[in-house]
Amino acid sequence: MGSLGNLKLVSAKRLVAVSPVLQRREKLVKAVEDQMQLVAAIAEGRTYAPAVVRLVKDAAGLRQRVESFRRVRPWWWKANGKVNLAVRYGAKTLELAKGKNAVELHNETELADALRVIKNAAQAGELDAQLDAIGRVVATGVAK
């Protein structure tokens, strides 16, 4: 025990996995943060495309790390002089309230504030029921 005697030894157990609820929350929060970055980039007149590292096989069959850019599609659109913002989780649109799937805004300057509210709601767990419903549809293929 000579060299190990200098270290503080403890009995510890590693967490195996994060709960699915927290995983869904974090995925939604990251997506909302991407939308917030997109809104800021458009306001400044620049594009927003975050870099991602992918493994690609070269001609010799070796895997090489290649940096590419991920496209972020806006969740909002203009209709009848208003801006509508739909919250998406993967390929699905969240139903924010019974029969309501979008937030109506007066103009694009309100987008950042609305996204901030949605991010806070997701972090507080207010959208967990909607995320769980989408998770069940994806897992079973049956809408409830």
Residue 3, in any domain of the structure: no
Residue 76, in any domain of the structure: yes
Residue 51, in any domain of the structure: yes
- Range of the structural domain that residue 50 is part of: 18-140
Residue 6, in any domain of the structure: no
Residue 7, in any domain of the structure: no
Q: Return left, alpha or beta for 125; rule: phi > 0 is left, psi -120 to 50 is alpha, else beta.
A: left
Cα–Cα distance between 144 and 136 in angstroms, integer?
8
Mean pLDDT estimate for the chain: 90
SS3 label, residue 43: helix
pLDDT greater at residue 110 or residue 143: 110
pTM score: 0.79
pLDDT greater at residue 15 or residue 37: 37
> How many structural domains does the chain have?
1
Give 22's Cβ-side CA count (13 Å radius).
3
Q: What pLDDT is attached to residue 120?
A: 96
Cα–Cα distance between 43 and 5 in angstroms, integer?
58
SS3 label, residue 71: coil
pLDDT at position 37 over 90: yes
pLDDT at position 138 over 60: no
Residue 29, in any domain of the structure: yes
What is the average per-residue pLDDT within 37-46?
95
Q: Which residues contact 63 (CB under 8 A, 6 or more apart)?
A: 55, 56, 57
Residue 99, in any domain of the structure: yes
Residue 2, in any domain of the structure: no
